[in-house]
Amino acid sequence: MFKKILIANRGEIALRVIRTCREMGIKTVAVYSTADAESLHVRFADEAVCIGPPQSSESYLKMSNIISAAEITNADAIHPGYGFLSENAKFSKLCDEHHIKFIGATGEMIDQMGDKANAKSTMKAAGVPCVPGSEGVIIDFKDCEKVALETGYPVMLKASAGGGGKGMRAVWKAEDLKDAWDSARQESKAAFGNDDMYMEKLIEEPRHIEIQIIGDSFGKACHLSERDCSVQRRHQKLTEETPSPFMTDELREKMGAAAVLAAEYIKYEGAGTVEFLVDKHRNFFFMEMNTRIQVEHPITEEVVNYDLIREQILVAAGVPISGKNYYPKMHAIECRINAEDPHANFRPAPGKITTFHAPGGHGIRIDTHVYAGYMIPPNYDSMIAKLITTAQTREEAINKMKRALDEFVIEGVKTTIPFHRQLMDHPDYISGNYTTKFMEDFVMK
């Protein structure tokens, strides 16, 4: 087992990893930028190394500084958390070259899944259901027109280097194809330095349902059921829940089996997520695979009673998984509390937290790095806490969430608490009848 793990991240996820390491008797090294000198991950780790100034590009993304910090402190593994270097193929390879275990996917795996057209071809070959469309990358506009006709309008043009909606265009009729093709390619080139495009049939009003998987170094994988992440705004998730209110036992079996098939086909090692689009007829299609631990992992932990960070560390150390799949025994909901003003278009609202009173009691989990007196730096994402409720039923989990949101007091900065409180009273949320379009029609009171 590892003796010392360096956590190449900040905020709540750095704390989350430190906590499990402590329970496992593994020493921890925090890295931090000068903006995070007062952060809890620095205080709770056994050692801490400053890696640069506030800008991420000069600190949490600075590979050479992080590798140096690991070498100076004799860390034998690096946990990248989510974001930053967690899906950076070059960094994964660099860790390898320095004989430091990267607790995540290999560089080759990240490359393979990072190219979306390639990831889709691989999944299709594995036998995982995919949205009909182009066979890989589209060669030119003539090819684009041909594929659109064969697929049938409406279609979706997608950037192969994309993800998060960048370089993506829905096209409803042939006359709009040229403009969409040109602008999507331009956007993709600017964002990723690559303008490879592929095409799919447009799935109207889909749900975003993802399956958590974990694979070991012996080629065996299992799934831990689903998370419904359909409540998103501009491709940012706001709240997630498990089980999905749209799920049936039959669909879970099929999607779980497809996700395990995907993982085992590529000999995936570590924790990962297979994202699916699910249409109104409960047809499901592979969308993307995430090769990291995700923000919303705690709801899965709560309903299947499983520490995902612990299992990530164990499989990275060469321990085999049990092999069985995990099914939800409870219902869990996560609300992402961001320092944003929901009444002003969710505009980021960094600043000093003057009062912080977290809710407590049965079935409440809060993953956060903030405290009263904490200054939220403007340099990073705006998530300041995750509020997770767990109960026997969905209705109880919602009622518990309402109670917890009412108890939560954060003063000094605007937060998304009022948004979540309103959401928990929304008839379409309560009925479970929501899709990825839900936030388009949502208005704050």
Q: Which residues bind ligand MV4 (CB under 6 A)?
A: 131, 156, 163, 165, 168, 200-203, 206, 208, 232, 235, 277, 287-288, 436
Smallest separation (angstroms) from ligand MV4 to the CB of 44: 34
Which one-letter amino acid corresponds to residue 62?
K
Nearer to ligand MV4, 163 or 256 (CB): 163
Smallest separation (angstroms) from ligand MV4 to the CB of 380: 22
What tokens were used for 189?
């080139």
Nearer to ligand MV4, 130 or 257 (CB): 130
What tokens were used for 415?
């937060």
Smallest separation (angstroms) from ligand MV4 to the CB of 256: 19
Q: In degrees rounded to 5, what are phi and psi of residue 234?
A: 50, 45
Smallest separation (angstroms) from ligand MV4 to the CB of 382: 19
- CA atoms of 106 and 89, how far apart (whole Å): 7
Nearer to ligand MV4, 20 or 290 (CB): 290
Nearer to ligand MV4, 234 or 324 (CB): 234
Nearer to ligand MV4, 8 or 157 (CB): 157
Marked catalytic residue, from 292, 336, 394, 421 = 292
Smallest separation (angstroms) from ligand MV4 to the CB of 40: 31
Nearer to ligand MV4, 109 or 287 (CB): 287
Residue 292 a catalytic site member:
yes
- CA atoms of 139 and 141, how far apart (whole Å): 7
Mention every residue, 6+ apart, whose C-beta is less than 8 A from residue 150: none
Nearer to ligand MV4, 289 or 413 (CB): 289
> Backbone dihedral region of 294: left (phi > 0), alpha (psi from -120 to 50 degrees) or beta?
beta
Nearer to ligand MV4, 70 or 203 (CB): 203
What tokens were used for 280?
């109104």
Do residues 311 and 271 make contact, with C-beta atoms less than 8 angstroms apart?
Answer: yes
| Of residues 14, 64, 62, 66, the one with CA closest to residue 36 | 14
- CB neighbour burial string for 372-404, b if at least 16 within 10 angstroms, e if fewer: eebebbebbbbbbbbbbbbbeebeebbebbbbb
134-139-143-147 Cα dihedral, nearest 10 degrees: 10
Smallest separation (angstroms) from ligand MV4 to the CB of 64: 31
Nearer to ligand MV4, 235 or 426 (CB): 235
Which residues are known to be catalytic? 292
